[in-house]
Amino acid sequence: MGIVIEKSFQGGRAELDAQGYRVESLARVESLAGGVVTFR
């Protein structure tokens, strides 16, 4: 499964992994705290 922008601070990727899906992301956002986007 291809994801363009992954919000890695949410649990969606773990759920897909648990179901056996291979997940590839072009960008992974780690945080949106304080209005600042932090990429992983």
- The ranges assigned to domains in the chain are 2-39
Instruction: Give the pLDDT of residue 21.
Output: 95
Q: With beta carbons less than 8 A apart as the criterion, state whether 4 and 16 touch.
A: no
Measured CA to CA, the distance from residue 32 to residue 17 in angstroms comes to 23
Contacts of 16 (CB under 8 A, 6+ apart): 1, 23
pLDDT in tens, 1-40: 888 999 999 989 999 999 999 999 999 999 999 999 999 8
Residue carrying structure tokens 């945080």: 31
